[in-house]
Structure 1
Amino acid sequence: MLAHVPPRIRLDAEHTAIRPLTPSDATEFAEAVIANRPHTSPWEPIHAEAHYTRAGQLETLQRDVEAWELGTGYAFAVLDRGAGDAIIGRMALGNVVRGAWRNATLGYWVSAAAGGRGHATSAVRLICEFAFDHAGLHRVQPAVIPRNVRSIRVVEKSGFRREGRALKYLNINGVWEDHEIFAMTLEDWEAARGDR
């Protein structure tokens, strides 16, 4: 195992928690992915139908474990503590690069049924804690489609700054979409923590 691979830990807030996803989550996670297909598909790449099956999610979760072991990505289940730790979404640091950059991109979704209750904002804050306090990253960078107002609100409430717009940044649902680029650095995180 590589020296910079962080431990697979759970982090808790008052109503929300995150913990690493594992292949043993395949059934529950697939149910959440399938149930939220109409909610998430406008914001995601086009997926093969296999993505919306237990077998497809098992394969994804196995790749997540491999990425963690390589130190290239860290995928978490978002949990609703008030509902017995039910899986209500996914939060992931991807494209992790070390060296002089020490950066990761941030992607996430929270189920439609759990939306509007602060779970996404809490989970984003928890993954920032993981990124800066456990994974040794210097920068975390979410990119959000400009019309995704709810997601922009989540990253702004979580303390990310808007850095600009990247044109035709990602192919989402079959269309090359512009994205607003947000970022937080370790210095931003430490300054915000000092204010708490």
Structure 2
Amino acid sequence: MSTPASGTTHQIESRHPGWPARPGALRVPAGVVALRPVRLRDAGEWSRLRLRDRVYLERWEPTAPGAWDERNSITAWLPQWSSLRRLGRQGLCLPFAITVDGVFAGQITLGNVIRASLRSAWVGYWVSSELAGKGVATAAVAMAVDHAFGEAGLHRVEATVRPENGASLRVLAKAGFREEGLFLRYLDVAGAWRDHLCFAVTAEEVEDGLCARLVRSGRAEHA
């Protein structure tokens, strides 16, 4: 890690450990999966994937104002990126782009970061439909959680998933999350209040890390 150029930078890094960051990579059937901070120049590929995969993504994501095409246009990325960048600098989230062989393939965010005596966050993610079932989301979740419990200094990460979302349930199971319970009418998704299952994992449960667990199971290799 480079030496901070000023006292201000050192204070920011000390106050918000683990950000910015580029966690290590894993090789899965789809290619080499890596995480990096989201960039302004991700706009084109972000918009292309989101518009193409509307049917694949929209049914699982929280309801938001405006039409899908508007919310996922190239111009819509600027305010989203700016907001994520600001929250990252404030220590409130860790917003990563997921790449496969260096190409933008989705996003994963550790959000609502709370420190003090709780030290928790939630994890949310999406990946290109072309990469579904090829280990990308599982690897990204494992890397993000290992980073949360390592450099970011957190203790608990949770995820909420609709019971009907079998693909995401499998991702969390393979990554090592355990089910904690059912949240009734938890989020407005696709225009209605939907039940969500809550999953979580704590630092004590991961031993040498979720990435190491994936490697031992044969689902990934260190890249």
Q: Which residue of 2 aligns with 1:140?
A: 157
Q: Per the alignment, in what secondary structure is the counterpart of residue 183 of structure 2?
A: strand
Shift, 1:189, TM fit: 1.8
Task: Give SS of 1:190's match.
Answer: coil
2:15 to 4, 14, 27: 4
Is the 8 Å Cα contact of residues 32 and 87 (structure 1) preserved in structure 2? no
2:26 maps to 13
Counterpart contact for 1:22–1:62, Cα < 8 Å: no
State the distance in 2 between where 1:116 and 1:89 align.
14
Q: What amino acid sits opposite 2:207 in the alignment?
A: E
- Paired residue total: 193
Residues in 1 aligned to 2:202 and 2:21: alpha-carbon distance in whole angstroms: 21
Distance 1:134 1:36 in 2: 33
Deviation at 1:173, TM superposition (A): 1.4
| Structure of higher CA gyration radius | 2
- The answer to whether the 8 Å contact 1:78/1:91 transfers is yes
2:34 and 2:209 map into 1 onto residues whose CA distance is: 20
1:68 match: 88
Question: 1:125 Cα shift?
Answer: 0.4
Counterpart in 2 of 1:121? Answer: 138
Structure-1 separation of matches of 2:187 and 2:13:
30
Following TM superposition, by how much is the alpha carbon of 1:166 offset from its aligned partner in structure 2, in angstroms? Answer: 0.8
3-state SS of paired residue (1:3):
helix
- Aligned-residue Cα RMSD (Å) equals 1.6
Aligned residue type for 1:80:
V
The answer to whether the aligner puts 1:37 opposite 2:49 as a matched pair is no
Query: Residues 16-75 of structure 1: CA distance to partner in whole angstroms, max 9, x if unpaired?
Result: 111110222222222222222111000012232331111111210111100100111111
Structure 2 gap ranges (5+): 1-11, 217-223
Aligned partners of 2:209 and 2:83: how far apart in 1? 33
User: What TM-score, normalized to structure 2?
Assistant: 0.81
Cα contact 2:19–2:94 (8 A) shared by 1: no
Q: Higher mean Cα deviation, 124-133 or 26-35? A: 26-35
Describe the SS at the equivalent of 1:116: coil
User: Which residue number in structure 1 is paired with residue 40 of structure 2?
Assistant: 23
| AA aligned opposite 1:139 | R
Structure 1, unmatched stretches of 5+, are none
| TM-score (normalised: structure 1) | 0.92
Partner residue of 1:166? 183
